Amino acid sequence: MLTGLFHWSASCKVFANELLHGAPVLQTLLETELRDLVLEKAAVLDGWVAQGRMAAVDTVHLFFTIWSATQTYADFDVQIAAVLGRSALTPKDYAEATEHVVALVLRGCGVLVP
């Protein structure tokens, strides 16, 4: 499990580094496939807003919020571990973070969390 977490975290850092350098390799993909995918998924969420299934939020920006909340655990794991008083994040830490982010996002969207 820890090996999987390491590879996931490492790949997130490579991706973040690409973006921090202006996305020279991925720019076209970001402007086409990623943009299309986000707009497609945002349209689904906009439908839910229209149906009253969730609060009126800017659904494209909702994706940015989710990305930033989750990317933090990958890119700044050392900082988070230090604040939590650990030498490294554990699978339990990631599970608790996942639960927290999911509940926070759902509540923020007006979705009842069981």
Residues 12-22: tens digit of each pLDDT: 788 888 888 89
Its pTM stands at 0.81
* Alpha carbons 62 and 49: distance in angstroms, whole number: 13
Phi-psi region of 110 (alpha: psi -120 to 50; beta: other; left: phi over 0): left
pLDDT in tens, 7-66: 556 787 888 888 888 988 889 989 999 999 999 999 999 999 999 999 999 999 999 999
- State in Å, rounded, how far the first CA of the chain is from the last one: 27
Q: What is the pLDDT of residue 69?
A: 92
Q: Average of pLDDT values for 71-86?
A: 92
Q: What's 2-108's CATH class? A: mainly alpha
- Domain boundaries along the sequence of the chain: 2-108
